[in-house]
Amino acid sequence: MINRTPFKIAIASGKGGTGKTTLATNLAACIAEQQEVVLVDLDVEEPNSGLFFEGRLLHSEDNLKMIPQWDESKCTLCGLCPKLCNFHAIIQLGPSILVFPELCHSCYACSELCPAGALPMIPRAIGKLNHFQNGRLHHIESRLNVGEEQAVASIAKSKKYAADKLPYVNVHLYDSPPGTSCPVVEAIKDADFVILVTEPTPFGLHDLTLAVETTHKLEKSFGVVINRDGLGNNEVIRYCQAENIPVLARIPNNRRIAELYSAGRLIYPEFPEIREALKDILDYCLSAERSRP
């Protein structure tokens, strides 16, 4: 048998609240009716996909970040470390060195360049990674502690955990954070296919164009899912046609869907046409050419 790596599908959007989590959770649950699937919630600042499943907690661990710890007995107070830190995470107040863990980027510069070896690196918990299972569905989330600024390392950690622990599961879905900056790049940079979720409104279109730009920059294959179809105008469709971007599905604008979502429930069991759409989306993704490594 050929040793395959999982096919990784990232579900992203420029604008928040367009339905990424709705699509990710419904797609995951729908796939799980037939085969095993992994859903990795990479919105580590506001992880929501767990609200839609009752899972059994299989594993939980701290997400760690390495930070320097001041060893007063070795320190010569030479004053170098505050100057080395580009992030102002170390200051010197007279005879004390203070380290601010939230600001540290774990670059090790202070620790390794300290002439006295007075700043050894130690682990610090910045959040938790949880692995839940519900039938064939594996759900992995990292949850950043409030006040921690750096989402990127936890995003990388979740992906790696899924890849290491569940390499035999064919499909890994990534529920990405909103936006277009560093956390999003981290979330989609090693995906094989990206689904951009948008809504047919001026905000939706504008943010879609930004997301498309980011996705192009990362040289990813991608397609668009239009959520709340019928709500606004036709500009998103026109844009996709003009740019030759495949529209994978259109999920109708329906108050009932909003109500189900608000209660933390899946939508496709009540809407056969959405179940069909989800299958089409998955087929399209899997048939798409894998992005360049």
Footprint (CB under 8 A) of other proteins, residues 43-82:
43, 45-46, 48, 51-52, 82
243 touches other proteins (CB under 8 A): no
Query: Is the CB of 50 or the CB of 223 nearer to other proteins?
Result: 50
Q: Which residues pair with 68 in a beta bridge?
A: 121
Instruction: Using the minimum distance from each CB to other proteins, give the nearer residue, 110 or 140.
Output: 110
- Bridge-based pairing state of the strands 121-134 and 137-144: antiparallel
Report the distance separating Cα 68 and Cα 90, nearest Å: 9
Residue 35, token pair as written in the block: 């085969």
Amino acid letter for position 166: L
- Give the range of 3-11, 32-40, 83-91, 280-288 binding other proteins by CB under 8 A: 83-91
Name the residue among 125, 149, 109 with its Cα closest to residue 65: 125
Contacting range for other proteins; rule: CB under 8 A; set: 38-46, 131-139, 269-277, 279-287: 38-46
Residue 290 engages other proteins in binding (rule: CB under 8 A): no
The answer to whether residue 116 forms part of the interface with other proteins (CB under 8 A) is no
Shortest distance in whole angstroms from residue 213 CB to other proteins: 4
Beta strands 171-175 and 37-41, pairing class: parallel
- Written as one letter, the residue type at 82 is P
Q: Which of 1, 146, 168, 219 binds other proteins (CB under 8 A)?
A: 146
In angstroms, what is the minimal distance from the CB of 112 to other proteins?
7
Interface with other proteins includes 269 (CB under 8 A)?
A: no
Burial class (CB in 10 A: 0-12, 13-18, 19+), 254: middle
- Any contact of residue 96 with other proteins (CB under 8 A)? yes
- Site for other proteins (CB under 8 A): which residue of 163, 190, 232, 286? 232
Count of residues touching other proteins (by CB under 8 A): 72
**Binders of other proteins among 169-228, rule CB under 8 A?**
177-185, 189, 201-203, 206-207, 210, 213-214, 216-218
64 closest CA partner among 22, 127, 14, 107: 127
171-175 vs 137-144, strand pairing mode: unpaired
Is 102 an interacting residue with respect to other proteins (CB under 8 A)?
yes
User: To the nearest 5 percent, what fractions of the chain are helix, strand and coil?
Assistant: 35, 25, 40
Half-sphere exposure of 14 (CA within 13 A, CB side): 18
